[in-house]
Chains A and B, each alone.
Chain A
Amino acid sequence: MINGISINYYLLLSTVLFIIGAVGVMARRNSIIIFMCIELMLNAVNLLLVAFSTLHNDAAGQVFVFFIMAVAAAEVAVGLAILSMIYRNVKSIDTDLLSNLKN
């Protein structure tokens, strides 16, 4: 029974998901939403890694995804701590207000 899905569809799907994340980073000002869009981009890449690991029948790709998840968890913990610290000092997480380094 041939019910395999072409790798091209997975390439397309993760491209679209990655670009939705990239547009979200460009179009939003709320830092938390930007952070969530970065997570979306990470997940698009994870999906493609799993697809290629299944295609080549090589477990290394799935182990990489596991490590990416561990790093993403660490990143989110530190990032949200920084964001809550910024909120405590500036009383906002609007990216346009965070321009102290500019002047």
Chain B
Amino acid sequence: MLGYTITQWLFGILSFLAIMFALMVVFSRNPVNSVLYLVMTFFCIAGHYLLMNAQFLAIVHIVVYAGAIMVLFLFVIMLMNLNEDTEPQRTQITKIIAGVAGGLLLFVLVGSLKGTEQLQLKSYGASQIGLVKNLGKVLFKEFLFPFEIASILLLAALVGSIMIGKKDIK
């Protein structure tokens, strides 16, 4: 198809959609719409993970980000009853300055990446490291201690968010 393989087509479409939805997150006036566009961006990124045969991460990404984190965001937004009318807006000049600063950062980063070597990723299905079996072996052999530390971190976050969210601490 026009000299491109299926993988390259999928990469292009997913990248385009991810960037479009990411832009919609920033430019959408209604916070609820922003959350939904961010969920779509996360689905596109999960598609990229699948394209690189990182199956475990693709599933975890959808479950943790789209399933848990974004629902939490949506829940808090609906709790605060935010909508288009209550949305605070920056002045036009601040928005322009933000856009110019972002554009300059993009210019510098793309310029610095321009001369780098063109390394090809392996074709689809060639990389086996992203499968649950292989990643699990690495996770529970080499990274067992950080994995246990992560559980303590999650417990601390759980206790911390309950303490912060409590109305009156006696």
Contacts and interface: CB of A to CB of B under 8 A. Distances in A.
A101 interface: no
A76 B72 contact: yes
Kindly state the interface size class of chain A when it binds its partner.
35 or more
B164 A82 contact: yes
Nearest to B126: A4
Per DSSP, are chain B's interface residues mostly helix, strand or loop, or mixed?
helix
B127 A69 contact: no
Given A69-B60, A73-B68, A3 B123 contact: yes
A77 B118 contact: no
A51 B110 CA distance: 17
Nearest to B5: A3
Interface of A: 1-13, 15-17, 19-24, 26-30, 32-33, 35-37, 39-40, 43, 46-47, 50-51, 53-55, 57-60, 62-63, 65-67, 69-78, 80-85, 87, 92-94, 96
Interface of B: 5-8, 11, 15, 18-19, 22-23, 25-26, 31, 34-35, 38, 41-42, 45, 48-49, 51-54, 56-57, 60-61, 64-65, 68-69, 72-73, 76-77, 79-80, 82, 87-90, 94-95, 97-99, 101-102, 105-106, 109-110, 113, 116, 118-124, 127, 129-130, 134-135, 138-139, 142-143, 146, 150, 153-154, 156-158, 160-162, 164-165
Given A24-B26, A73-B64, A77-B157, 12 more contacts: A1-B123, A3-B123, A5-B120, A8-B113, A17-B22, A26-B97, A32-B82, A36-B38, A57-B129, A78-B161, A85-B165, A94-B88
